Structure 1
């Protein structure tokens, strides 16, 4: 573990029986009490995630918005103060540099949250494509992030703050909120398919915040959650993972993220290729499937129809909530229809599956 990057909570993990693994160069807990227990806690109560490995870039200046508009595919000009959007950020060829969140703190003041494995790459990319009056500060090392997710998230967090959390709508946020005596940016966002909040605070304060939330939430059954359940939760809700559903070789249109590509907003990096893709139609498409024979699909397993390779699995597992072996696969578009039968090649044998509607899981509002 010596050579791995560590979040400010690394020393706290053992107190909660965190089982540490190497996750893209970071020492992070894959589980605490067990993946299935943790998954169930988030679906039915609430769970707390350390996501301090995520990156934070602060973009300021009179040309901050113009720069962000050039970098991302979504339209940040529509943001009000205190609002956030999700967006892919693309290369010229339409492949994805990263997917990220943009928070508008005020005119000329934005926070961009990027994936942990891409922090340096993203920072270099936006610096390379910056122009005019803009300052980009990589605040990742001084910033920590927790996510409290699940149907009881608001109830638990409300006990710790005077701010009225019920007033924070989905993809909106409040800044400088006092949570258990710690200044936080609190946003109603998350990566689990459940209601919940993401809290950003100073790295030096996060251990206290973590302990406080778990102590406050104990009577409501709040558990610490590791990477294992983070993946099964996001996957059931069909939320993409960078490096699997979206990569430098997979465009947002191919991965079903066309809603976040605003071709009419003006020019942005990758627009020309994406506009052409939209006009001509994509050749590959991301689909969800369930296994109809016994077997668990895994990333990179080949997908065939009639003995011919038509694509590969991007993510697959047993869905703990839906109780089925399910997967996402990027396949040739002519086969991407509900009800299409597939063969997933598991240990050199074809195992039957069928394309179904996604998301696999949707919470009851």
Structure 2
């Protein structure tokens, strides 16, 4: 997920062009089109799905770096004297404890403890935060923050149109970024953000990503997106950097066992079922929405838990397919693919808790074919450097 300038929003972008279907185009759409991208409509935007091939782009990110247009993500700024108190109340983590220039992965939950979205929150200043929501959930998160903010001396602002978001991910990301910015990249640790010039224009530069690799996310004005994209493509040419689409982003995040809202996360799932109970700060001094329900869920073992599966053969389990034990349904796959990096099928699934131990042998019903699968630790892939 994302970030942008220190205390003021970037210049507002012009109205987004529309496709005939009504989807928005990002500021980088002409470059994607010229590069031969295949497009998909996602969360109200026309986004590049792939340029050459999913496999080539996936391997490029693991071996060199890939450049992603993520301008569909939802940026929401929360400012004011009680911005920290509002976010402590609205979200499950202790947002007030985040230091300036740092970020935190967290969630916004309903009163019943179900996940409305997973988020990254950046503290930009003492009284300024940026919340980055998943593209499909931006309106839900915005409405929830505005509703929960009533009575607080704070402002919740939809700033999605103020920013373009470009991510460069992979082992060559730092070497490439160093050619287009004077920012202290060594000092920019994982989950930190700073204000910097990138390709000669102002931006917010964060060391975050969704691929399991080192990398950066650049928040800039839509007016400046093209110059930053072109500069990174040019600087990265010698390193093997390529433009990459949403298709390989999905296979990359699956290998890294990063959950996807709508697959591993939903309003029917709490952080505890998802194996992400660590983000919930039940002992923070202030009350927060969903606290009682989450306290109750934390006190008893959950019935279903998220696990990793390694399937035999070449057939990859897919979302929605049943997981079986002794021929009986015991769970369901949420994401699956033939892992390009590992060379065998992997999947995440929710299964009954007593079957979640690593080494347990289960089956997956893949379109009528029963395929053996073993429970394995997550993540499937972890970078070594």
Normalising by the smaller structure, the TM-score range is over 0.9
Q: CA deviation at 1:26?
A: 2.0
Gaps of 5+ in 2: 1-18
Deviation at 1:283, TM superposition (A): 1.1
Residue 293 of structure 1: how far off its partner (Å): 4.0
Contact kept, 8 Å, 1:294 with 1:351, in 2: the verdict is: no
Q: 1:209 offset after TM fit, Å?
A: 1.1
Cα distance between partner residues in 2 of 1:82 and 1:230: 26
Report what 1:268 is aligned to.
Answer: 288
- Answering whether residue 377 of structure 2 is matched by residue 363 of structure 1, we say no
Runs of 5+ consecutive residues of structure 1 not aligned to the other structure: none
- Count of residue pairs brought into register by the alignment: 364
Are residues 1:302 and 2:301 paired?
A: no
1:250 counterpart = 2:269: yes
Report the equivalent of 2:340. 320
1:24 CA displacement: 3.2
1:82-106: CA deviations, max 9, x gaps? 0000101101111111111110011
Q: Which residue of 2 aligns with 1:6?
A: 25
Give the match for residue 232 of structure 2.
213
DSSP 3-state at the match of 1:209:
helix
| 1:299-322: CA deviation from partner (whole Å, max 9, x where unpaired) | 011111112111110000011111
2:157 is the alignment partner of 1:137: yes
Give yes or no for contact 2:319–2:335 (8 Å, CA) kept in 1: yes
8 Å Cα contact 1:293/1:353 also seen in 2: no
Normalised to the residue count of structure 1, the TM-score between the two structures is 0.97
2:137 is the counterpart of 1:118: yes
User: Please, what is the CA RMSD of the aligned residues?
Assistant: 1.1
Is 1:161 the counterpart of 2:184? The answer is: no
1:146 aligned to which of 156, 163, 166:
166
Superimposed CA distance per residue, residues 288-346 of structure 1 (whole angstroms, 9 cap, x where no aligned partner)? 00112442100011111112111110000011111110100011112111111111111
Query: Matches of 2:366 and 2:199 in 1, distance apart?
Result: 49
Question: Contact (CA 8 Å) 1:311, 1:330: kept in 2 or not?
Answer: yes
Equivalent residue, structure 1, for 2:359: 339
Equivalent position of 1:173 in the other structure: 193
2:245 aligned residue: 226
Is residue 2:280 matched to residue 1:281?
Answer: no
User: In 1, distance between residues paired with 2:174 and 2:73?
Assistant: 23
State the shift of 1:16 in Å: 1.5
Q: How far, CA to CA, are the matches of 1:111 and 1:193 in structure 2? A: 23
For the residues of structure 1 that align with 2:176 and 2:183, how far apart are their CA atoms? 13
Distance 1:25 1:60 in 2: 27
Other structure's SS at 1:17 match: coil
| Higher mean C-alpha deviation, range 8-17 or range 41-50 | 8-17
Partner of 2:13: none
Partner of 1:93: 112
Q: Distance in 2 between matches of 1:338 and 1:279?
A: 23
Q: CA deviation at 1:77?
A: 2.1
Q: Which residue of 2 aligns with 1:26?
A: 45
Task: Report the secondary structure of 1:280's partner residue.
Answer: coil
Q: Secondary structure at the match of 1:219?
A: helix
Is the 2:314–2:338 contact (alpha carbons within 8 Å) kept by the matching residues of 1? Answer: no
Is contact 2:117–2:133 with CA below 8 Å preserved after alignment?
yes
CA separation of 1:218 and 1:80: change in aligned 2, threshold 3 A: same
Structure 1: 4+ residue segments shifted above 3 A: none
Q: Distance in 2 between matches of 1:305 and 1:15?
A: 50
Q: Counterparts of 2:174 and 2:359 in 1: how far apart (Å)?
A: 39
Task: Give the C-alpha shift of residue 349 in structure 1.
Answer: 2.7
Deviation at 1:264, TM superposition (A): 1.1
CA–CA separation in structure 2 for the residues paired with 1:349 and 1:325: 15
TM-score (norm 2): 0.92
Query: Using the alignment, how far apart are the partners of 2:353 and 2:26 within structure 1?
Result: 41
Aligned twin of 2:77:
58
The alpha carbon displacement at 1:61 in A equals 0.6
SS in 1 for 2:210: coil
